[in-house]
Chain A
């Protein structure tokens, strides 16, 4: 072993020498296994080792870069493990990162040595810097060494409770890694998932749903409480997270809501064109009028996903499209059409997937894509698989009205240089001809013309398609059959020859003179034919024997004899069977009598249908749909339940500062008439909310200045709690800009529990600067009465001209309608303002069960209003107004 010798000579220490020698041997063996890598790589790796063990940072870095280069090329660098792992605690960030790359790649192979690095990561998990904590967890969880499972579990649990959402996100990723390493940890991991699902950060949402889908996709119960939050967060989640969340929510919705598709769906199909012309807004209003009332949560999902159709990420658009397809009422699905068609301009691969999905959709819903028919016209520069998909869609879209346009288009395609595509077009013409009876004859004539085409494949394909068409209406077409018999000699494609033979046999009574002649020719060339042609020859012979035995008896026997000694056992079998069936002898018995009825039975015409016909059993947009076979890990989309499961499971408990405050209010069961009102109001409020938050973020320099504030996450989440507080939000003037020297203020009661103190009423004040200079230091000054308890907003450092900001305050009105007076101050001025609450604003809604209600009533805590009793009668849950304290 020369390699060993060379390295041995280089070494000085005995033990080291031995160790290196053995290392070198393994390398040598490895490289021998890869004939491409030169044996000098052994030497090179030796240099790398020296460089890694040197004291110079730059040398180490250089070595690591080369090592990573080796990994990237797929070359083995595992023997460097001990030298590399030493650098795991390096101060140099780049070096450290490269070591991580190496470690993750080889730890599985060198488990014992990998353990040396664990303590470094454990230490890093305690670092104050969140990025270091996160990256330590990332690497620790990527080391696939079973022995550290408990350590990983502990780290994940800690990270899931971390202050930083970024670290929590990392922990969600780590969950999947640990699960794939050790599925026995499932139960504990589900607990962590449950906890993370409650997380309100947009950063975490996507990742934890991925973990959920991987570890426990069947635990749909974990989603209930988080459903509304996920819907509301969706717009702000990063694009990749949106895809998985939408896909998961689709599955969820199919188990929780009743079908929005009415029984008379077919009726609706017919009216599709009318729907199309109308505006989309109108459509959604129609739902309200129908007897079916959509669960507001169902509506929430549809409404919150709709803006995502405008995403630049094609995967997001596709996932929204499939959500609408699977969940939306029929007439609303059309919303997604435009966006899907837009995706067709994207990369070729994107086109391929989108076209596949459109193909499936267009079978069931022609009307959806019909107005966009021209977007599916084929260009000569398209890739073949794109062309065939477009053809498929055009065929699906064909109807009486547009068939002439489509056929004209097909005529161009038939002439295409891409012969496979031309053949596919002929198939498509055949399908149009069978589906639309008006054009059958036109198509047939066109196809017959193609029989004189110079291209073999085109002719063959035409024959096959004509055969199928003739079967549907054989009576009038003996001319065509004769024509085809004449062509027979020139056609060499076996499928086409077989088709003509079959036609001859099937309709031999129509061509009584030609058929025996064709059989004669076949008898001559029988041995040289393909199997499929031979089988049809035998068939033809049998049929002619039964109808015209005088002329063909000898020919048939000759062919049967040839068949008997054929090489293919299929043909030998068939020959034996036919002979027994048609030639009467002592043994054949009863079957013989029925030979005619068996062979010449009327046969049903083949149905020409789309290859995408049954693809809709898979959820659109999935890998399984694309492959048309179930991919591993595919989650079935369940059918709609006949009766919706309990809706109240999605109600969320308020995060309340004080327990006594009131039992929370979820969505109470509403009367039908409320429905529209409710949803309108909700939309209005949501808009207002985001509007105001955007305004504030763009003007206040202290906030991080995002267009979509994380801060409004809370308000959105808690917003559900107060959902029953419908009614338009009334805004009052606090300070007019004329009196306020440019500063104007308006306020409204958000009717949400006040966060600052339970006794306070929440007030939202919108401050705007109407002057042409910026205002500084806006704050709350003196108040009267002096004892007035106000939770002020933080001083606003600077308000630019035209800008406005919304702040929230808490005011304790002490259950009286007495005005709260205070001063609104800027740097220079102070303005006295007052807020006088209406009685209603001092009350807060709460829900009680009937029992609680009567108990409380006994204790005379509740104001007995007639309204309350009225509601008690109509609703299961009572919505009563409980005076505070």
Chain B
């Protein structure tokens, strides 16, 4: 399926190539560069391109292009999903997925890519399995390596996970402190129109788990109000039948960090927005200037504080500079990208933050047709805006008492206010 992979950096240099079948010349990437040239932004390059003999499927992530070459019909999502999985694994192994890190660990990267695909078909994509075969770099090991040059990257035990029917968990896990943490993170996607009415709002939730438990624990996570969850997707470890019948998550967890579940509370349910924004941005016909006035206030926060509040505005090209005063926080205006960022911080309900002032336009340029839209960022600790609550976590199959913890967090996802 997947013939070759090229990693390309932001400026268009190919810095790594890997072929799973016969070698394909890197000149095939020229078609991609051509498309990249045409699209102004790297995000705008079409993910699927056709060339005379090959098909190029690309993802853009962390300022890197992962370009895969496919020769015959293959589901494009299959390839895209795999490429993202590769990027996830790099992230997991090296802490970040960037050009410099990949170049520094080129041998490990190559060994990983070798194991992940056989003849272009995914072989091992579970991080737990891969970590048994190829050890992630650690500081200690890199020190020992430079001193003696003997410590090997490759695990000396052969992985058993792949053979078992729970390929996501490695065998023989041991911890002195047994702990299981679950983070319920919800993101609000919303569009609010000029007059402040909600055009659409929905919640995207995810349960991130960090499980460090000895042996083969069998966990059951149940909710106070599982009825909220009508659209879910699971990590393969979750037993679907149990979910169907009892609405509880029953699973043997992978070792370490993983995403247990994703859920979606759709716009048909009413979603309470935690903040409101009062804004007026106007440009005058007479003279090259405009006025801006934004106030943010709390709406439905259930008594919790809104933190890390931030407003980002992509200004029209004609806006030269901004002369504003903020009653709270600070603002910056990037002249090159025309992005105005107002970093507010904590929202104080007694004294609402306000940003006010004038915008100066390029002389002679026509007044911008439209007003820019506002993107809101925020965080609320210890609250899941959908109201989802974990009721308990039970463990079977092992004797010890693990330490358990659940954390809630609400964030703004794609929260946009039109003006």
Contact = CB atoms under 8 A, between A and B. Distances in A.
B154 A310 contact: no
B216 A203 contact: no
A385 interface: yes
Given A68-B107, A417-B372, A706-B166, A312 B233 contact: yes
Interface string B69-86: 011111111101110100
Contacts of B72: 631-633
A447 B370 CA distance: 17
Interface of A is mostly: helix
Nearest to B26: A74
Most buried by B among A58, A94, A633: A94
Contacts of B119: 141-142, 173-174, 176-177
Nearest to B414: A379
Given A210-B1, A349-B59, A374-B267, A166 B149 contact: no
B239 A375 contact: no
Interface in B118-163: 118-119, 121-123, 125, 148-150, 152-154, 156, 158-159, 162-163
A319 interface: yes
13 contacts: A74-B26, A105-B19, A166-B162, A176-B119, A313-B81, A342-B264, A348-B43, A375-B202, A380-B373, A383-B43, A623-B70, A623-B76, A631-B72
B418 A412 contact: yes
Contacts of B250: 707
A708 B164 CA distance: 10
A94 B134 CA distance: 9
Contacts of A633: 71-73
B237 interface: yes
B264 A345 contact: yes
A366 B171 CA distance: 50
Most buried by B among A317, A380, A629, A691: A380
A43 to B, nearest CB: 21
B15 A348 contact: no
Interface of B: 1, 14-19, 21-23, 26, 39, 41, 43-44, 46-48, 50, 55, 58-61, 70-78, 80-82, 84, 106-107, 109-111, 114, 118-119, 121-123, 125, 148-150, 152-154, 156, 158-159, 162-167, 189, 191, 193, 199-200, 202, 204, 216, 218, 230-237, 239-244, 250-252, 259, 262, 264, 266-268, 314, 316-317, 366, 368-370, 372-373, 375, 396-397, 414, 416, 418
Contacts of A94: 152-154
Given A383-B41, A623-B55, A375 B267 contact: yes
B194 to A, nearest CB: 9
A318 B241 CA distance: 21
B71 A710 contact: no
A12 to B, nearest CB: 28
A629 B250 CA distance: 44
Contacts of A202: 165
A65 interface: yes
Given A58-B149, A380-B373, A353 B202 contact: no
B78 A635 contact: no
Interface of A: 57-59, 61-62, 65, 68-69, 71-74, 92-94, 97-98, 100-101, 105, 108, 129-132, 138, 141-142, 144, 164-166, 170, 173-174, 176-177, 180, 202-203, 207, 210, 235-236, 238-240, 243, 247, 307, 310-315, 317-319, 338-339, 341-342, 345, 347-350, 352-354, 371-372, 374-375, 377, 379-381, 383-385, 409, 412, 415-417, 453-455, 621-624, 626-627, 629, 631-635, 687, 690-691, 694, 698-699, 701, 704-710, 800, 803
A354 B76 CA distance: 10
Given A352-B47, A691-B241, A694-B239, A627 B216 contact: no
A170 B118 contact: yes
B125 A383 contact: no
B240 A310 contact: yes
A151 to B, nearest CB: 18
B111 A97 contact: yes
A93 B397 CA distance: 35
Contacts of B375: 381
A307 B216 contact: no
Given A339-B231, A380-B373, A383-B44, 11 more contacts: A72-B110, A243-B75, A310-B234, A311-B236, A338-B264, A342-B233, A347-B61, A349-B58, A375-B200, A375-B202, A385-B44
A764 to B, nearest CB: 18
A422 B23 CA distance: 43
